[in-house]
Amino acid sequence: MTAYHPLVKLVLDGELSLAELPPDLRAQGEAALRMVAAVDRTPVALPAALETRVMAAVRQRAASPWRRLFRPREVRLRIQPVWALALAAVAIAFFVIPRRYETRSPDLSARVAPESVLVRFVLYAPDAKQVALAGTFNQWNQAATPLVRAGNDGVWTATLSLPVGEHQYAFVVDGRRWVTDPAAPAMDDGFGRRNSVLAVSGRGRAS
């Protein structure tokens, strides 16, 4: 795609005339205008049968028994006072009783277990040609989670959705060098090296 000078873009937008461009940009401006002029503006003619085919498909979809079953309908309810009282009692029982029970037994691990949290990993490795993330969350597979270079400053990033729990990991630089995360605590990996560790809680990354 051609990258036009901002002044040429103003010409294309009609905010400047070609004559107002500096001399060295005029050739670019003329080329841009020629290209715009060459665009085919003939109205597109749709086949005559298209509308019929589309409408037939819509009617067939609307006739589906499932659609009719779940089609929105207007429902009118008239609640007698005695029933309103009964419903209010059920609502109070539903909202109040479980909360009392929860404050007695707040097992957060059970409550947050199904949650996942987005975690962003960042490594500064200006000389690296490729960086990947390997850890307990991807079966230590260094092909599973490559980091992408963010700009030209040597910063590599990846964002993962991780389940609640503790995770151990390391960056793999150029497919051979295992590097711990300088922003996270580390522990012995049992093989004479170190793994970075992070604990993901239901409220975000604990550390």
Contact call for residue 130 and another protein (CB under 8 A): no
Cα 77 from chain centre: 41
Rounded-to-10 torsion of CA 40, 30, 6, 39: 0
Q: Which stretch binds another protein (CB under 8 A): 4-12, 32-40, 84-92, 134-142?
A: 134-142
Spatial neighbors of 158 by CB under 8 A, at least 6 apart, are 120, 121, 133, 145, 146, 147, 148
Task: Decide: helix, strand or coil at residue 49.
Answer: coil
User: Which residues 49-108 are close enough to bind another protein by CB under 8 A?
Assistant: 105-108
* Cα–Cα distance, 197 to 189 (Å, whole number): 10
Contact call for residue 140 and another protein (CB under 8 A): yes
Contact call for residue 131 and another protein (CB under 8 A): no
Task: Decide: helix, strand or coil at residue 45.
Answer: coil
- Binding residue (CB under 8 A) for another protein from 54, 87, 91, 113: 113
Contact call for residue 144 and another protein (CB under 8 A): no
Contact call for residue 109 and another protein (CB under 8 A): yes
Total of chain residues touching another protein, rule CB under 8 A: 32
171 with 203: CB under 8 angstroms? no
Taking the complex as a whole, how short is the minimal distance between the CB of residue 192 and another protein, in angstroms? 8
Contact call for residue 193 and another protein (CB under 8 A): yes
Please report, as ranges, the residues that interact with another protein according to CB under 8 A.
105-109, 113, 134, 136, 139-142, 165-166, 168, 178, 185-193, 197, 199, 201-203, 206-207
